Amino acid sequence: MVTTTEKLSELLTDRDELRAEVDLVVNAAPVMDVHTHLFPPEFNELCLFGIDELLTYHYLTAETLRSARIPYNQFWSMSKTSQADLVWKTLFVDNSPTSEAAQGIISVLDVFGLDTRAPDLKEARAFFNSQNLNDHIDQVFDIAGVSGVVMTNDPLDETEAEIWKTGINVDQRFKSSLRLDSLLNDFDSGSVPAIRRLLDQSIQRLNPVYLAASLPPDFKYPSDEIRDGLLREVVLPTAKEYGLTLTLMVGVRRSVNPELREAGDGLGRADVSSIERLCADHPDVKFLVTFLSRENQHELCVAARKFNNLMPFGCWWFLNNPSIVTEITRERLELLGQSFIPQHSDARVLEQLIYKWKHARKQIADALYSSYEQLLQNGRAITPQEISRDVNRLFSGNFNEWNSACG
């Protein structure tokens, strides 16, 4: 009889068996979702779920307004349910839902056994409205195989601040991160000591896993901009003092079309050498970094080879399409081994966890299989145990290491 230990150390020399094992391990591994915009139910209207929220996701409103051709203002003046009805009619009834965001809706409906070709949203609304929210959250986390999610918490947001002030005990699966965009990019948020006090207070109250900021493509370090002073005088010293990772999301051009509101941001190629200089000047800070432009991905991998305090993460936003995720994940496996975090969901609506992770697992499994298959061709077979070790590192180990080894 073959024991479990023998099975785990068995060499996978048959390609079909190798493929099956990679799929098994990748689909079963719990994942730590390192960047989302999700909130637990205690945050009331900030906790988004259900079909109307799913369909009015900004990725889909932008696509709808390309085909529906109604004036932007008219769309925004509609109720959320009417907007969702229009998105459904435009992208799912009058057209085929081929885009990644639209395919995501199909994956979610399908998981719950709902009609993916329905003429309207009656059935889906009835289903989501009948769910008990806490049970539904458990079910969604379970289906997605997500062990925890990192929220995006804005220390200047008054709605959030009111809730944190009550001293609530947040569900352990929802980790906090302090998002510094309004502090770093608005430039009028107060004096250095005032910002520092706000950060200290927020860190004590929220116990974040990291500090984060998104940055425009023209971000330069060093520079003589106000942001540079805030980084040097407040953010980096705070990160060092508390042993907190600094997460930088680079390359977003905000409000390229303000009429599209939340859907109106674009992207631009950024300067990776600024991140290299930050890593070189602050070897005692750990950086989690993602770039929005496809053109920056190779440079990011090379920068990470030079600085072991730099961890590339995710295929962010406009990169989260199967063709690009496949390319980036393979490139990272080829240049960095398993020393990166392949994906985050960026989910804003609870059930997006289901599709974003279903789709990501597929692309990660494809890329890993291809690496192991090459390894086999080159003369080395892999074992099930080694596949598990590699996947756990990619799905949670690298993030945990980043957040425990600081300080």
Residue 58 Cβ, how far from ligand RAT at the closest point, in Å?
6
214 binds ligand RAT (CB under 6 A): yes
**Cβ proximity to ligand RAT, 214 vs 245, nearer residue:** 214
Tokens in use for 177?
Answer: 């991160």
Of 316-355, binders to Zn ion (CB under 5 A) are 346
Residue 248 Cβ, how far from ligand RAT at the closest point, in Å?
11
Task: Please tell me the distance from the alpha carbon of residue 402 to that of residue 287, in angstroms, as a whole number.
Answer: 9
The three-class DSSP label of residue 78 is coil
Q: How far is CA 40 from CA 80, 135, 136, 148, 178, in A?
A: 21, 12, 12, 12, 16
Q: Are 209 and 175 in contact (CB under 8 A)?
A: yes
Task: Please tell me the distance from the alpha carbon of residue 362 to that of residue 359, in angstroms, as a whole number.
Answer: 5
52 binds Zn ion (CB under 5 A): no
Burial class (CB in 10 A: 0-12, 13-18, 19+), 112: middle
72 binds ligand RAT (CB under 6 A): no
Residue 317 binds which entry of ligand RAT, Zn ion, none, with Cβ cut-offs from 5 to 8 Å by kind?
A: ligand RAT
**Cβ proximity to ligand RAT, 282 vs 348, nearer residue:** 348
Element (H, E) at 94: none
Site string for ligand RAT, 19-38 (x = CB under 6 A): ------------------x-
Select from 157, 317, 373, 389 the one that contacts ligand RAT (CB under 6 A).
317
Measured in degrees and rounded to the nearest 5, phi and psi for residue 83 equal -60, -45
Element (H, E) at 310: strand 310-312
Residue 90 binds which entry of Zn ion, ligand RAT, none, with Cβ cut-offs from 5 to 8 Å by kind?
A: none
Residue 270 Cβ, how far from Zn ion at the closest point, in Å?
16
154 binds ligand RAT (CB under 6 A): no
346 binds ligand RAT (CB under 6 A): yes
CB-nearest residue to Zn ion: 346
Residue 18 Cβ, how far from ligand RAT at the closest point, in Å?
34
Count of positions on this chain that bind Zn ion (CB under 5 A): 1
Among 286, 346, 299, 296, smallest CA distance to 321 is for 346
Q: Which residues bind ligand RAT (CB under 6 A)?
A: 37, 214, 317, 346, 348
